[in-house]
Amino acid sequence: MRVISGIARGRRLKEPLGMDIRPTTDKIKESIFNIIQFDIEGRRVLDLYAGTGQMGIEALSRGAASAVFVDASGAAVRLVRENLRNAGLQDADARVLHTAADSFVQRGERFDLIFLDPPYQSGEIGRILQRIMEIDILSENGIIVCETQADTPLPEPVSPYVKGREYRYGRVKITLILKQGA
């Protein structure tokens, strides 16, 4: 696992050992960042269910203004902090929080780009996506990047949220949820 582009390009990130974390493969991560490449610079990023932190770290490397990493696992939080150091981004505008996704979303802090990749078997994706839209933590013209198994349904967005494109990579599906501007 490595940082693909930007100021931390080529830096290796530590992968979990024996943890219940399923990191996004480099191939899928590269595809995601090719899709959103013009929507990163200067943006506020939320890496919810951060795991290794690689999605938020990649965004910081590519010019995101800030990133918040949220995970309920203490081991994952330690891994994110270590990976920020490994990527040379320990001085970036980054916060790493050891808290449940629901508790964090409830705070109402707004973001321009949200990476949403809960454990596949948890069944949390639909519930937390619905909660994000209800509390409305995505800024206008923001993007939610959802990673799920290919057969996992997502709730229908309610205006001003709309479903964007879906991309399939074998057994993985990437779905974009967009918030339209005023």
Range of the domain at 37: 26-179
**Section 46-72 average pLDDT:** 96
Tell me, yes or no, whether 90 lies in a domain.
yes
Query: How far is Cα 58 from Cα 155, in angstroms, rounded to an integer?
Result: 27
Percent of the chain beyond pLDDT 70? 96
User: Smallest Cα–Cα separation from 99: which of 115, 77, 121, 114?
Assistant: 77
Q: How many domains does the chain have?
A: 1
Q: Is residue 45 part of a domain?
A: yes
Give me the CATH number covering residue 81. Answer: 3.40.50.150
pTM of the model: 0.94
Q: Looking at the domain assignment, is residue 68 inside a domain?
A: yes
